[in-house]
Amino acid sequence: MIELASVCKSLKGRNILQDISLEFIEGKAYLIKGHNGSGKTMLLRMLCDLLKPSSGEIMRNQDYTYGVMIENPSFLENETALYNLKYLAAINNVIDENKIIESLKQVNLYDERNYKVKTFSLGMKQRLGLCQAIMEEPDILILDEPFNALDEENYKMAIDLLIQLKEKGKMIVVASHGFSSDDNMLFDQTITLSDGKVINTAI
Amino acid sequence: MKNKKNAYIFLYLFLINCVVMYHYTDVWGYRGVEQLVTSFDKEANHFSLFLLVLYMSIAVMFIYTIIKKTNDIFIMAKYILPRSSKKKFMNLLLHEVGRSTIKLAGIKLIVDILFCIWIDSNQLQWLLFLFFLYVTTFFMWGLIIILLALFKIDKGVTQFIAITFVMILQLLSYDNKFISIFVVASINYREDVLFLIASKILLLLILFWYLRKTVYKYEIYGGEKV
Contact A88 B79 (CB under 8 A): yes
- Cβ distance A50 to B82 less than 8 Å, yes or no, reads yes
Give the pLDDT confidence score for residue A71 in this predicted structure. Answer: 76
The answer to whether residues A110 and A124 touch, using CB atoms and an 8 Å cutoff, is no
Q: Comparing A119-123, B18-22, B68-72, B164-168, which segment has the lowest mean pLDDT?
A: B18-22
Contacts of A49 in chain B (CB under 8 A): 81-82
Could you give the C-alpha distances from A84 to A132, B73, B83, in angstroms and in order?
9, 11, 15
From the list A67, A74, A92, the residue facing B75 with the nearest CB is: A74
- How far apart CA B38 and CA B170 sit, in angstroms, is 8
The HSE-up count of residue B160 (CA atoms within 13 Å, CB side) is: 5
User: Which residue in A51, A52, A136 is closest to B83 by CB distance?
Assistant: A136
Higher-scoring residue by pLDDT: B58, B191? B58
Instruction: Give the tens place of pLDDT for each residue, A22-31.
Output: 999 999 999 9
Residue B126 pLDDT greater than 60, yes or no: yes
When pLDDT is averaged across residues B18-37 and rounded to a whole number, the result is: 80
Q: What is the pLDDT of residue A87?
A: 95
Listing DSSP states for B69-133 in one string gives HHHHHHHTHHHHHHHS-HHHHHHHHHHHHHHHHHHHHHHHHHHHHHHHTTT-GGGHHHHHHHHHH
CA distance B139 to B65: 12
Task: Kindly tell me if the per-residue pLDDT of A200 is higher than 80.
Answer: no
- Which candidate, A172, A185, A183, A184, places its Cα nearest to that of A32? A172
In A5-26, which positions are buried (b, 16+ CB within 10 angstroms) versus exposed (e)? eebebeeeeeebbbebebebeb
Residue B226 pLDDT > 50, yes or no?
Answer: no
CB contacts under 8 A, B 163-222 vs A, are 219-222
d(C-alpha B66, C-alpha B133), whole Å:
16
Give exposure, A156-181, as e/b (b: 16+ Cβ within 10 Å).
ebbbebbeebbeeebbbbbbbeebeb
Chain A nearest-CA distance from B5, in A, is 15
Is residue A110's pLDDT more than 60? yes
More confident site: B122 or A126: A126
Q: Are B84 and A66 within 8 A, CB to CB?
A: no
Set of chain B residues whose Cβ sits within 8 Å of the Cβ of A87: 76
Give the model's pLDDT for residue A37. Answer: 84
Name chain A contacts of B92, Cβ cutoff 8 Å.
Answer: 91
Asked if B78 has any chain A CB less than 8 Å from its own CB, the reply is yes
Assess B122–A contact: CB distance below 8 Å, yes or no. Answer: no
Mean pLDDT of B50-63: 94
Q: Name the amino acid, one letter, at A125.
A: K
Q: Whole-number mean pLDDT of chain B?
A: 89
Residue B146, CA atoms < 13 Å, CB-side half-sphere: 30
* Mean pLDDT (whole number) for A60-73: 87
Asked whether residue A17 carries a pLDDT value surpassing 50, the answer given is yes
Q: Which residues of B touch A75 (CB under 8 A)?
A: 75-76
The three-state secondary structure class of A2 is strand
Bridge partners of residue A57, in order along the sequence: A5
Asked if B218 and B200 touch (Cβ cutoff 8 Å), the reply is: no
Q: Which residue has the higher pLDDT, A200 or B51?
A: B51
Phi, psi values for residue A63, rounded to 5°: -80, 100
Pairwise CA distance, residues B167 & B162, whole Å: 9
Q: How far is B218 from chain A (nearest CA, A)?
A: 8
Element (H, E) at A144: strand A140-144
A49: nearest CA in chain B? B82
pLDDT digits (tens, 9 = 90+) for A166-198: 999 999 999 987 665 556 678 889 899 988 888
Residues of B whose CB is below 8 A from A94: none
pLDDT in tens, B89-110: 999 999 999 999 999 999 999 9
ipTM at complex level: 0.89
Could you give the 3-state DSSP secondary structure of residue B204?
helix
How many other CB atoms are found less than 10 A from the CB of residue B38?
26
Q: Look at chain B and count its residues.
A: 226
Q: Residues in chain A whose beta carbon is closer than 8 A to a beta carbon of chain B? A: 11, 41, 45, 48-52, 65-68, 70-71, 74-76, 84, 87-88, 91-92, 132, 136, 138, 142
The per-residue pLDDT for B225 is 47
Structure confidence at residue B77 (pLDDT): 92
State the pLDDT at residue B200: 95
pLDDT for position A180: 57
Strand order in the sheet with A140-144: A66-69, A140-144, A171-176, A29-33, A189-194, A197-202
Note the pLDDT of residue B117.
73
Q: Which residue of B has its CA nearest to A42?
A: B221
Closest-CA residue of A relative to B88 is: A91
Closest CA to A157 of A103, A101, A102, A107: A107
Closest CA to B141 of B182, B112, B180: B182
Facing A87 at nearest CB: one of B76, B88, B226: B76
Angle at A172 between CA A171 and CA A178, to 5 degrees: 160
User: Is A50 close to B220, i.e. CB distance below 8 A?
Assistant: yes
A17 contacts in chain B (CB < 8 Å): none
State the Cα–Cα distance between residues A53 and A69, nearest whole angstrom.
20
pLDDT for residue A119 is more than 60: yes
- Give residue B138's pLDDT band: very low, low, confident or very high (50, 70, 90): very high
Q: For the segment B190-199, what is each residue's pLDDT rounded down to a tens digit? A: 888 999 999 9
Instruction: Output the pTM of the full model.
Output: 0.88
B79 touches chain A (CB under 8 A): yes
Per-residue H/E/C for B17-52: HHHHHHHCCCCCCHHHHHHHHHCEECCCCEECHHHH
Number of residue pairs across A and B with CB atoms under 8 Å?
57
Side by side, the strands of the sheet bearing A55-60 are: A14-24, A2-11, A55-60
Q: d(Cα B89, Cα B216) in Å, to the nearest integer? A: 10
Q: Do B83 and A71 lie within an 8 Å CB cutoff?
A: no
Determine the pLDDT at residue B206.
97
Element (H, E) at A155: helix A152-167
**Alpha-carbon distance B69 to nearest alpha carbon in chain A (angstroms):** 11
Cα–Cα dist A104/B113, whole Å: 48
> How far apart, in whole angstroms, are the C-alpha atoms of residue A193 and residue A29?
17
